[in-house]
Amino acid sequence: MTTIKKELPEKFWEDLQSFPYNYNFYHVMRSIDAYYQLRKPVGRNSQPSHEPVRLRQEPSMSFAPSNLTNVSRKDGSNTINISLLGFGLFGPNGPLPLHITEYVRERIFHHKDATLSAFADIFHHRLISLFYRAWANAQSTINIELKDESFSRHIASLIGLGFNSSRNRDSIDDYTKFYFSGHLTRQTRNPEGLIQILRRYFNIPVRLQEYIPQWIKIPEHQQFRLNGDCSLGSFAVIGSQIKDVQHKFRLLLGPLSQQKFNSFLPNHENSQQLIDWVRLYIGFEFAWDVCLILKNEEIKGIQLGDQSALGFSSFLGTRKTAIDDFKELIIDYESRLTPAI
C-alpha cells in the first residue's frame, strides 16, 4: 500500500471535485506523483494496489471538452477515482464501434448495471497510467520530483558533479549550480561567464578587472645568491619577490546598499558563497580579490550603538554629494582563509 508523504492542500481536492474541467489531467497526475510516497511512480507499478489513484473512462458519445470529467475520493480512503472522457475504448474517439458505447451507457442509465464499464476500467487504468508515464518520461523536468530521478545526475555529470561525493560540498545549492550549467560546462572559462553567474545569483552589478599587479614570493631556495646557478639577464632576480600582472583579477561589486555591502564582508552570508562560486568557476589557478563599492548616499558617520565593522564599514562623518561612491575597500578572501606562516 502507499503512505502519504505530504498531504495535498484540502482546497485542492475541493476545487478539483467541484470543478474538474478547470484542471489538466497531466497536472493532477503530476501532483499525485510528487506528493505521495510511492514504491514506484504511477505507470511503473505491477499492481494497482500500489497506486493511490484509479483511472477510468466515462462512457459517453460526446466529444471531450476537457481531459477530466469527474474526480471523487471516499472519506477515510486515500484512493482517488478519476474519470476521463478521452484516452479510452469508448466514445467517438475510441477504437470500439459506437454501438458498444451506446450499449454500455444503456446498461448504466436504464438498468443500473455498470459491470461492462467496470470491466473495461481494469484495462483503462493500465492503459491511461502507461500513457501518462510515457508523457512524463519525455518531460525531464517532471522526473526531477521523483525519488529515483536521473535528470539531476545527467546535468551534474556535465559540470563534474556526477558522483555523490561531489554533491553538497559547499555553501551553494546543487540545483543552483545546475541552473548555471551552461556556463560551467565550458572548457574555456572566460570573464563574461563568471560575471553573468554572479550578477544573476546575487542580483547586483558586477564587473571584472583583469591584469591586477601582485607580488609573488620566490621560494628561498630559488632566490638569487652568490655562487648560485643564475645567469644575469635571464634567471637572476634581486629580492625575495617578483611583480606579476598575468595571474590576478579583481571583481568590482556594486554600487551596493549598506545592507548588501555588509553581507559581503568577511564571515558574512554572501562572502562564503562568493568564494565558492569563484573556486567552482576558476579553481585555484588565478589569484583574485574583491572591491566592494558602497553607494555614496549610504555612507554615514559612525555612531554609538552602530554595528559597523572597523576597517570595513565604519566612517568618520559623511561625504559630499559630488564625491563618487566609496571604492577604497579591497578584500582578499583567499588570504584571509589561508593561515599565516
Give me the pLDDT at residue 321, please: 64
pLDDT tens per residue, range 193-240? 999 999 999 999 999 999 999 999 988 888 887 776 777 767 778 888
152 near 146, Cβ under 8 Å?
A: no
Which triple of cell numbers denotes residue 140? 525531464
What mean pLDDT do residues 62-69 have?
81
Q: What residue segments make up the domains of the chain, in order of their start?
A: 3-143, 204-211+247-341, 214-245
Give me the pLDDT at residue 171, please: 93
278 near 239, Cβ under 8 Å?
A: no
pLDDT tens per residue, range 132-163? 999 988 887 777 777 677 888 888 999 999 88
CA 5 to mean position of chain CA atoms = 22
Ranges of H-type helices in the chain:
10-18, 25-35, 98-111, 115-137, 140-143, 151-158, 174-179, 181-184, 191-202, 258-263, 269-282, 333-337
Binned at pLDDT 50, 70 and 90, residue 76 comes out as low
Which of 288, 209, 292 lies closest to 253, judged by CA?
292
Higher pLDDT, 306 or 58: 58
* pLDDT beyond 60 at 254: yes
Mean pLDDT for the chain overall: 86
Which triple of cell numbers denotes residue 54? 484509479
157 near 181, Cβ under 8 Å?
A: no
Burial class (CB in 10 A: 0-12, 13-18, 19+), 326: buried
* pLDDT beyond 80 at 4: no
pLDDT tens per residue, range 78-126? 788 999 988 899 988 889 999 999 999 999 999 999 999 999 999 999 9
Give me the pLDDT at residue 233, please: 67
Pairing of strands 287-294, 248-256: parallel
Which of 295, 262, 292, 264 lies closest to 202, judged by CA?
264
What three-state secondary structure class fits 274?
A: helix
Which of 135, 158, 139 lies closest to 149, judged by CA?
139
What secondary structure does DSSP assign to 33-89, as a single string?
HHHEE-SS-TTS-SSGGGSSEEEEE---SS--SSSEEEEEE-TT---EEEEESSSSS
Distance CA 102, CA 282 (A): 69
Distance CA 109, CA 221 (A): 99
Which of 108, 97, 5 lies closest to 56, judged by CA?
108
Residue 25 amino acid letter: F
Give me the pLDDT at residue 319, please: 67
pLDDT tens per residue, range 108-117? 999 999 999 9
Phi, psi of 112 (to 5 degrees): 55, 40
Peptide bond into 97 cis (omega under 30): no
Higher pLDDT, 317 or 135: 135
Q: What's the number of CA atoms in the CB half-sphere (13 Å) around residue 147?
A: 9
Give me the pLDDT at residue 313, please: 79
Distance CA 134, CA 145 (A): 16
